[in-house]
Structure 1
Amino acid sequence: MQKLLFISALVMSTQVQAMTLEQSVAEAINHHPRLQQKYASFEAAVRYKKAAVGDYLPQVKLYGGVGYEEVRYNSGQRVDTDLNRTELGVKVSQLLFDGFRTTSEIDRLEFEQEAERFGLISEAENLSLDVATVYLNLMLSNRVVGLAERNIVEHEDILKDIILRQAKGLSSESDVAQVKARVATSQSGYLAARNEQMDLQARYYDLVGQLPTELHDAKPDFNYVPTSLKLALEQAVKNHPEIDAAINDTQAASSQYEREKSDYWPKLSIELQANKNDNIGGIEGPDEDARAMLMLSYDLYNGGSTNDRAEAAAWQVQQAKSIRQQTEKQVIEGTRLAWNAYEFVGQQRKFYQVNVDQAVQAEQGYQRQFELGRRSLLDVLDAKVEVYLARKNYLSAYYNYHIASYRLINATGQLIESFRVDTPTQWQEEK
């Protein structure tokens, strides 16, 4: 009852409309927090890279200060002055060489930006698969609810017939009790189907943000479904965004290693500086100067920190390579599992169709034989259950086959493309 009230509240508080699967996917991509978080992370990476490029440009600093200064000696001469000191200056510096640190840092951030972009695409692919799975499961659930309703009606019709037959002395009280038990079972099955339906509606609402009043038939574009396991694996390794993200993470780690090695090199820059000071060094009066200098600095010893940081970065490269290998293994495993589901569920569907046809034929035959007194009531009831289960199994196989198809397309990294859903141009920019 609480679940029913929850769904009713969702319906009342949300403007609902019928949406296709493609529209549902687009709505989820546009508004789901999972994508918003990944997009924010991607945009942050873009800004970090832009910030690093600024190190190539001149750096201009304005500084100033005012305060009290007491000086006893200046250059060996006793002055004993108490003055109010003021400083004002501007400094312009241009980096000429920093051991390739800035270049390596820009490369690192650019690779991280690409890794974030591919991570965003991967999250969108997975979200699209989640929406497709819920959408098709909801379609299946709706059909199962319809079957359950039909099953109740058919059992109630049998109950009415058996009650009439009992009144004529053609059926016993135990026959009536037996059918009533089956009616209760069918009603229980209907409630279970409704419970599953409402759970899926809540899940759909979580992904898309609204509950559709009706669902449109959804089928995958089989032009995107690989025709063999070999082709599926080739496409997955080539196109899957998780692998591309791992590759860029590895390249970012290599650039970080180059950045850490930059401390082995000297730093060279040009500095322009002008000062307008007053009461400096205990000497009353203005103190103004300007200079242009070529500055060189070379870190001769820093306690071995440069070596340690470089070695740590080298190990991070090895870590990134291992993650990249593991990611590829996971993608290959996921593709194999998706292919197996696609193949076997597709084969099951054919047998379930035969099961339905034969079960219906058997039920009709049992019904005629029961009317002639050659079959028991239990035989008819069991045959009806067999038809119900056969139809339910066929529907499950039908929709699971389509879900497996979407899963296989997702494994090859082409699900969003197969939906013809437009994504922001930033998602498609190559390095």
Structure 2
Amino acid sequence: MAGDLADTIHKAIEHNPDVLVTQDDRRAIEQNVREAKAGYLPRVDVYAGIGGEKSDNTSTLAATGEQGYRGLHREESGITITQMLFDGFFTKNEVARQKATLQAASYRVLAAAEDVGLRATQTYLDVLRRQEQVELAKDNLAAHQRVYDQIRMRSERGVGRTADTDQAAGRLALAQANLEAQQGNLRDAQIAYLRVVGEMPQDLDMPALPVDVMPGDLQALVDEARQTHPTLASAVADIDATMAQHEQARANDFPRFDLELGATHNSNIDGVRGADEDLIAMVRMNYNIYRGGADLARKRSTAHRITEAKNIRDRAEDQVIEEASLSWNDFLTARTRLDLLRRHADAANATRTAYQKQFDIGQRTLLDLLDTENERFQSEINYIDGKYRLMYAYYRIAASKGQLLGSLGVMSPDGGPQN
């Protein structure tokens, strides 16, 4: 039975722009990881050039026997292969940073999908709720129609009063207005469903509640939310990324070593006619001594980024705890309130039945009968509202832990982590 709700959530996630934005961000960061790993691989450069050259040096003097510029047609080509041997752990920390950033982005995809899933669930339940209330309004209209017909027949026989007929007609019109209002509410719910899901609702089934993920108490909910909520997990991954970035900033504290292999094929170089070829194999070291304090500034900057990321994590944790607490409070309130609303509706139905019998034998006035009919209708409306509020509270608790999609069997979008 939860399949239809799961399908609705899947459709909502597929076209939602918030989810699509986070998915594209994640895919871009995947390429950043590949780019960072390229630092471990050799770099191959090929070059070629052709043009004119004029030279005046000892070689031209020996070749011509006189001083002055000697013009030749110069050609050059070559290949260089450079393999990083040690770069102060820059590449290692860059890969770690990008992997942590990718993890954070994956959790952001899941968090966006959870939010969309909860909105889709709300619109799904709203459509079902409004459909029930429309049917209830139709029953209420039919009941008022029966009372009106009964009063009109009495009036036509001369045993009823015109005022009673007018009063019954007025209540009948109110019942018709109530039906129109409920039908309007249903159309509003269908429009909201269309906006979130991308299509109009059709033949929605009553979903099963995610009772398996319900915690025993508020503390258990908060503890679990701290462990599984994707927003908090994303913030933790961001801390890992900034710590790797801070380590990366220390790369210039070390010398860099590269293995360089090369070959050149040149002609007419520096005024000497003929081929000029080289084969080289070198280990090169480069060690920057001073860059105007830029390296120190970068390390201080990344240290502040770590503190910022930790504060963002703390803020995310506060928000997760708040949402978990609110969802749990809503659940408790809705559960207690639903029992009271059911008692009220049962009492109103029993009163309506008793008043109908008493009205038939003249012990109750028409106003008594119409009032109890209206109270029954309103009590049932309130009960339906309460029933669906409690249902939504179950799903809200699952979402407050980041487990809504998992509880309904909906796959996480884009292959991100699944809680």
For normalisation by structure 1, the TM-score amounts to 0.90
What code does the residue aligned with 2:382 have?
A: N
Asked whether the 8 Å contact 2:55–2:271 carries over to 1, the reply is yes
Counterpart Cα distance in 2 of 1:192 and 1:81: 99
CA deviation map 1:217-271 (0-9, x unaligned): 1121311111211111111111111111110001101111111121222111111
Paired residue for 1:135? 124
Counterpart Cα distance in 2 of 1:104 and 1:179: 81
Name the Cα RMSD after superposition. Answer: 2.3
Asked whether the 8 Å contact 1:52–1:105 carries over to 2, the reply is yes
What code does the residue aligned with 2:49 have?
A: G
Alignment of 1:258-273 (within 5 A): 258-273=247-262
Residue 284 of structure 1: how far off its partner (Å): 3.4
1:69 aligns with 2:53: yes
Asked whether the 8 Å contact 1:19–1:212 carries over to 2, the reply is no
Determine which of 384, 394, 397 is the counterpart of 2:386: 397
Determine which of 315, 336, 343 is the counterpart of 2:325: 336
The alignment covers a number of residue pairs equal to 413
Counterpart Cα distance in 2 of 1:200 and 1:84: 81
Counterpart Cα distance in 2 of 1:280 and 1:183: 106
CA deviation map 1:260-304 (0-9, x unaligned): 121222111111121112233343332221211111111111111
Paired residue for 1:297? 286
1:361 aligns with 2:345: no
Asked whether the 8 Å contact 1:166–1:172 carries over to 2, the reply is yes
Change (3 A) 1:378 1:72: farther
CA deviation map 1:2-58 (0-9, x unaligned): xxxxxxxxxxxxxxxx97112222333445443333222222222211221111111
1:380 aligns with 2:363: no
Indicate the SS of the match to 2:410.
coil
Paired residue for 1:3? none
Indicate the SS of the match to 2:250.
helix
Indicate the SS of the match to 2:129.
helix
Counterpart Cα distance in 2 of 1:414 and 1:408: 9
Change (3 A) 1:191 1:83: farther
Asked whether the 8 Å contact 1:74–1:282 carries over to 2, the reply is no
Asked whether the 8 Å contact 1:219–1:402 carries over to 2, the reply is no
Segments of structure 1 that go 5 or more residues without pairing to the other structure are 1-17
Residue 213 of structure 1: how far off its partner (Å): 2.5
Counterpart Cα distance in 2 of 1:391 and 1:87: 91
Change (3 A) 1:74 1:119: farther
Paired residue for 2:236? 247
Determine which of 296, 309, 316 is the counterpart of 2:298: 309
Change (3 A) 1:199 1:75: farther
Asked whether the 8 Å contact 1:19–1:214 carries over to 2, the reply is no
Alignment of 1:145-294 (within 5 A): 145-294=134-283
Counterpart Cα distance in 2 of 1:127 and 1:140: 20
Paired residue for 1:410? 399
1:349 aligns with 2:338: yes
Asked whether the 8 Å contact 1:220–1:405 carries over to 2, the reply is yes
What code does the residue aligned with 2:280 have?
A: R
What code does the residue aligned with 1:213 have?
A: Q
Determine which of 24, 30, 34 is the counterpart of 1:50: 34
More moved, 256-265 vs 336-345: 256-265
Residue 135 of structure 1: how far off its partner (Å): 1.1
Counterpart Cα distance in 1 of 2:85 and 2:199: 57
What code does the residue aligned with 1:165 have?
A: R
Indicate the SS of the match to 2:282.
strand
Asked whether the 8 Å contact 1:74–1:281 carries over to 2, the reply is no
CA deviation map 1:142-170 (0-9, x unaligned): 10111112222222222222222222333
Asked whether the 8 Å contact 1:135–1:204 carries over to 2, the reply is yes
What code does the residue aligned with 2:33 have?
A: K
More moved, 37-46 vs 25-34: 25-34
What code does the residue aligned with 1:321 have?
A: K
Segments of structure 2 that go 5 or more residues without pairing to the other structure are 62-66
Determine which of 82, 98, 114 is the counterpart of 1:93: 82
More moved, 160-169 vs 76-85: 76-85
What code does the residue aligned with 2:198 have?
A: G
More moved, 83-92 vs 207-216: 207-216
Residue 424 of structure 1: how far off its partner (Å): 6.6
Counterpart Cα distance in 2 of 1:146 and 1:326: 45
For normalisation by structure 2, the TM-score amounts to 0.92
Paired residue for 2:309? 320
What code does the residue aligned with 2:297 have?
A: D
Counterpart Cα distance in 2 of 1:300 and 1:426: 45
